[in-house]
A and B are shown apart, each in its own frame.
Chain A
Amino acid sequence: MNFSEGNRAIVAALLAALLAAGCAGVKQSATPSAPAAAPAAPAATAPPPQAAASPPSSDQAAAKPAAKTAAPEAKAPAKPGVAPPPPSAKAVPAPAAKAAAPPLDLKALETELKETKAIGVMTKLSLKNQVDDLLSQFRAFYQGKLKTTLAELRRPFDLLVLKLLSLLQDSDPTLAAAIAASREAIWGILSDRTRFASLDGG
């Protein structure tokens, strides 16, 4: 099991899916003059007043969630009910698939996020805005431009995941469960400077 690759892939897929889904079919309004007054991410835009940390290592509050990463990650593979298992293929030999043990069917998850009817286009775009805002905060934090702590950044992250889950849980519980299972894995990447940089950069 390659956890770090799996985690990175999960986050990448999630963000890419939100991005793609949000942008799909969205035409920008002919009202450019309108001031972008409403901050898309109330939680993400509120800079925590605490001037506590310098761009730190993952040994802060994040260490705990990051350490937990393995557990949900391990669940993830089972998760992807997202991956459509052909019902008729009863006698499919599992061993080969098990050997590879991909932590998550990322393509399927991405597709599910893009195509889920549980979230409308505007909502997907709004979520994408908030994901971008959160990533900007992490970027600024690691660059030392934002005086805050990882513990403080955990709050907007949790809020964003909760928003996503609340939007999905009734209409698309399978996808909601997949995302919930990936939560700590995603945080594990965001809270680790090196892993975030590799995600952010590439």
Chain B
Amino acid sequence: MNTRASLAALAVAAAVVASAAAADDATVKKDLTAVIALQGLPCGPVTEVRTLGDNDYIASCQDGNRYHVFVNAQGRVVAQKQ
């Protein structure tokens, strides 16, 4: 009985964490989509993001382009086509 309750609680917690992570992921995608558009680069919505570090991402676009988006040493946001 106890074990079942624990498992249920664990599942709920996992679902909460997963949904929070998904929301976070959506925020990053939206942010990167805006950044790439601001640079005037072709992309469309960002569909996939790989985090390389703080403010350092690989963004995959709906149109197939991929960009390395990061903040360089001069404090500029750079989107480099991969």
Contacts of B69 in A (CB 8 A): 122
Instruction: Classify chain B: how many residues form its interface, as a range.
Output: 20 to 34
Residue A126 CB within 8 A of the other chain: yes
Stretch at the interface among A33-41, A67-75, A187-195: A33-41
Do the beta carbons of A28 and B55 come within 8 Å of each other? yes
B-contact bits for A128-150, CB 8 A (1 contact / 0 none): 01100000000000000000000
B28, B35, B73: which contacts A28 (Cβ < 8 A)?
A: B73
Of A23, A28, A34, A123, the residue contacting B38 (CB under 8 A) is: A123
Per-residue A-contact encoding for B57-82, CB less than 8 Å = 1, 0 else: 00000000000111111111111100
A32 and B54 in contact, given A120-B30, A126-B35 (Cβ under 8 angstroms): no
The docked-state distance in angstroms from the alpha carbon of A38 to that of B35 is 11
Find out whether the CB atom of B35 lies under 8 angstroms from the CB atom of A122: yes
- What are some 29 contacts across the A-B interface (CB < 8 A)? A26-B55, A26-B71, A27-B71, A28-B72, A28-B73, A29-B54, A29-B71, A29-B72, A32-B73, A34-B72, A38-B41, A39-B39, A40-B39, A40-B78, A42-B39, A119-B31, A120-B34, A120-B35, A121-B31, A122-B32, A122-B55, A122-B77, A126-B34, A126-B35, A126-B39, A127-B38, A129-B76, A130-B38, A163-B38
